[in-house]
Homo-oligomer: A and B are copies of this chain.
Amino acid sequence: MQNTNFVSTMSTCGQKEADKVPEPTLRRLPWYLSNIKLMKERGEHFVSSTQISKEINIDASQIAKDLSYVNISGRTRVGYNIDALIDVLEEFLGFTNMHKAFLFGVGSLGGALLRDSGLHHFGLEIVAAFDINPDLVGKDLNGIPIFHSSEFEAKMKEYDVNIGVLTVPINIAQEITDKMVDGGIKAVWNFTPFRIRVPENIVVQNTSLYAHLAVMFNRLNFNEIK
C-alpha cells in the first residue's frame, strides 16, 4: 500500500528515473544543481557543462556524462536552459516529491534532525518519531509527534511512510532495523556507526558523521606532520 505514491511518482518523472544511476553520479548531481542555482542568481539563462566545469573543477566530459542520466538535452553552443535544468535535476534527485519518514531514537542526533527543517526542502518529511524515554513520549519536537516505540506498527497503518531514519544507540541498531523492515519500511537512513544487516530489497544509506570525522582528523594529522 505504501508503494502507491512511488509508482505514481515514476509515471510523472520520465523513463530515465528507472535507471540504476551510479552512486558517484548521484553524489555529484547536487553539486551541479547548487552551482546552477547560483548562476541563475547571477542572471544567467543558459549553462554549458564547460561552464559548470570551470566553476567546480570537474571534467566537462564527466559532467556531460552525469547529466546524460537526466532527461534533458542541451543545445550546441548554447547549453542547457538554466530554469529547465534546475527543475529537471530537482525532480530527478527526488527533492520535489515529499518522501515521508519515521525517525527512530530521539537522542542528541535524532533530536537535531527533527529540528532541521532543511531536510524538507530536499524532499524528506519526518512525520513522526519513536522512542521509549518517558520524558519524550507523547511530546512533540518542532511539531513532530514522538510516540512510544511499541506504537510503530499501528502508526505504519496510519501514515504513508516507507523511509526510516535510524538514530538509536548502536546496541539496539540491528533490533530496531529488523522491526522497521518487518513493519514495511523500504529504506533505512542509518546515522549510527553500526553496519546494519537488511534483506536484499531494502535500501540502506549510511551517513555516519563519526566516520567522516575520523577521515577528517586523520587527514588533518597527516597534513600537520608531513
**A1 touches B (CB below 8 Å):** no
Instruction: Let me know if A217 and B93 touch, CB within 8 A.
Output: yes
Instruction: Let me know if A214 and B117 touch, CB within 8 A.
Output: no
CA distance A163 to B212 in the complex (A): 13
CA distance A203 to B97 in the complex (A): 34
Scan residues 29-84 of chain A and give those whose CB is less than 8 A from a CB of chain B.
29-31, 33-35, 37-38, 41, 56-58
Instruction: Let me know if A10 and B224 touch, CB within 8 A.
Output: yes
Residue of B nearest to A31 (CB): B195
Bitwise, A1-31 to B at CB < 8 A (1) or not (0) is 0010011011000000111110100110111
CA distance A205 to B216 in the complex (A): 6
Instruction: Let me know if A18 and B118 touch, CB within 8 A.
Output: no
Q: What is the minimal beta-carbon distance from A54 to any residue of chain B, in angstroms?
A: 11
**A187 touches B (CB below 8 Å):** yes
Contacts of A19 in B (CB 8 A): 222
Contacts of A171 in B (CB 8 A): 38, 41
Contacts of A94 in B (CB 8 A): 213-214, 217-218, 221
Q: What is the minimal beta-carbon distance from A143 to any residue of chain B, in angstroms?
A: 13
Q: Can you report 30 residue pairs joining A to B where beta carbons are below 8 Å apart?
A: A6-B221, A6-B225, A18-B226, A21-B218, A23-B215, A27-B208, A31-B194, A31-B211, A33-B193, A34-B194, A57-B197, A93-B213, A93-B214, A94-B221, A99-B217, A107-B118, A109-B118, A112-B112, A118-B209, A122-B213, A124-B213, A162-B220, A186-B224, A187-B219, A189-B216, A203-B216, A205-B215, A205-B216, A205-B219, A207-B209
Chain A interface residues (CB < 8 Å from chain B): 3, 6-7, 9-10, 17-21, 23, 26-27, 29-31, 33-35, 37-38, 41, 56-58, 93-95, 97, 99, 107-109, 111-113, 115-119, 122-124, 162-163, 170-171, 186-187, 189, 192-195, 197, 201, 203, 205, 207-226
